Chains A and B, each alone.
Chain A
Amino acid sequence: MSQQEPGTPDTAAPTDRSGPYVGSPIIMATVRVVMPFVFTFGLFVMFHGADSSGGGFQGGVIVGTVVLMLGIAFGIEATREWIGSRLPVALIGVGMLAFLFTGIGSVLLGAGFLEYSVYHDLGIPHATKYGIEFVELGIGVIVAGIVTGLFFAIAAGLDGGESA
C-alpha cells in the first residue's frame, strides 16, 4: 500500500509561505505508521456495520480520511497525481450504480424494490444480510469518493499561487 513515490516531493515546492505544504519527517513517519491501521479500521467499520456499530457512511469517511492524511503528510498535489483526479468521481458513480442495481435487480427477479431476500434464488446464502452489506459498501464507496474529491477540489490552487 505504501507506494514510495511521494517520498521526497518537497524539492520543487517554493520555500516561502505561498504554498501550505511543509515536509515534516515527524508527520511523514507518523502517517506511514498509522495509515494502514486507519485504513483497516475504516474497512472494518464498513464491512462490519451490519453486526456492530458503524456502517457504510462512517467507514467511507474513515477510508477517505486516509487520503487526507497522505495529502497532509506528503503534499496534496503529489497525492492527487498519485491517486488521479478521476478516480474519486468514478467511485461516486460506481457506488450509486451499485445501490440502484441492487434495487432494480430485485424487481427484475419478481419482488419489491430493494427486497434483498429474492437474491436467495440466485444461490446466495443469507441473501438479506449480504444484500445489506453490499448496499452499505456502495454507500461507503460514494462517501469515500466524495471526501477525497472534495479535499482535492478545495485544496486545488493552494500550491499554484493565485490560479483561482
Chain B
Amino acid sequence: MTPFEIALLALVVGAAVTTAALRSVLSSVVAFGAYSLGIAIVWVFLRAPDVGLTEAAVGAGVMTVLFLLTIVKTDHPATERTFERIDLRAAGVAVALVLVLSSTLFALPAVGDANSAVSDDDVSEYYLDNAYDETEVKNAVTAVLAAYRGFDTMGEAAVVYSAGVGLLVVLDREVFG
C-alpha cells in the first residue's frame, strides 16, 4: 500500500469512529460528511468513478444538507462532554463483528487482478468487447445501465419516482395540512 492509500484509509476509519463517538449531533453530521468524501475517493481509487461521483454528490453533499435541516428542528442541549461515553461491552461486540467480517477479506481477489472471476467472466467480456460497436457509447457502465439493462434501469427510475412522490405527498400533508 502506498502512503496515500494508508492516509486515505486512516481518514475514512477515523471519520467513521468520530461520527460514532461525538456527542453533539451537529458535529457527527459534519464528521459523516468527511467520511462520505473519503469513501468517494476510495471509489475512485477502486476504478469506479461513477460510484465515486454518486457518493460525493449524494453522500457528502445532499445527505449532509438534509441531515442538517432535520437536526435544526430538534433541540440540541448544551453538552459538557465532547465524546460519548463508550460502553465497553457494546464496543467489544462491535469490534468482534468487524473482525469476523474482516476474515473474509483474504478471499477477495487483489484490486485489478486479471485472473479474478469478475474480469474473465463471459458476460463482462462480452460487454467490454461489444459495447462500443452495439451502442456507440464509450462508457461501458452507461452502455450496460441504459442499453443492455435498460429495463432494469427503468424499474429503478420507477422506484425513485414512486418513493419520491410518496414522500412528497406525505411530507406536504404533514407540513401544510
Contacts and interface: CB of A to CB of B under 8 A. Distances in A.
B142 A49 contact: yes
B157 interface: yes
**9 residue pairs, one from A and one from B, having the closest CB atoms:** A53-B49, A146-B164, A153-B171, A114-B150, A61-B57, A129-B136, A132-B146, A156-B175, A51-B138
A28 interface: no
Interface residues of A, number: 52
A5 to B, nearest CB: 22
A65 B53 contact: no
Contacts of A65: 57, 61-62
Interface residues of B, number: 43
B30 interface: no
A147 B153 CA distance: 19
B78 interface: no
A129 to B, nearest CB: 4
Contacts of A113: 151
B137 A61 contact: no
Contacts of A45: 53
A92 B164 contact: yes
B73 interface: yes
A128 B174 CA distance: 44
B70 interface: yes
A6 B135 CA distance: 45
B135 A92 contact: no
Interface string A78-104: 000000000011001001100110010
15 contacts: A54-B50, A61-B62, A68-B61, A100-B154, A103-B150, A129-B136, A132-B147, A135-B146, A138-B157, A145-B164, A147-B62, A150-B66, A150-B164, A150-B167, A156-B176
B7 interface: no
B167 to A, nearest CB: 7
A61 B151 contact: no
Interface string A135-156: 1101100110111011101111
Interface of B: 49-50, 53-54, 57-58, 61-62, 65-66, 69-70, 72-73, 134-139, 141-143, 145-147, 150-151, 153-154, 157-158, 160-161, 164-165, 167-168, 171-172, 174-176
Contacts of A32: none
Contact of A57 (B54, B73, B143, B175): B54
A64 B66 CA distance: 13
A100 B155 CA distance: 10
B146 A136 contact: yes
A158 B62 contact: no
A153 B167 contact: yes
Contact of A62 (B57, B153, B164, B165): B57
B168 A132 contact: no
A58 B157 contact: no
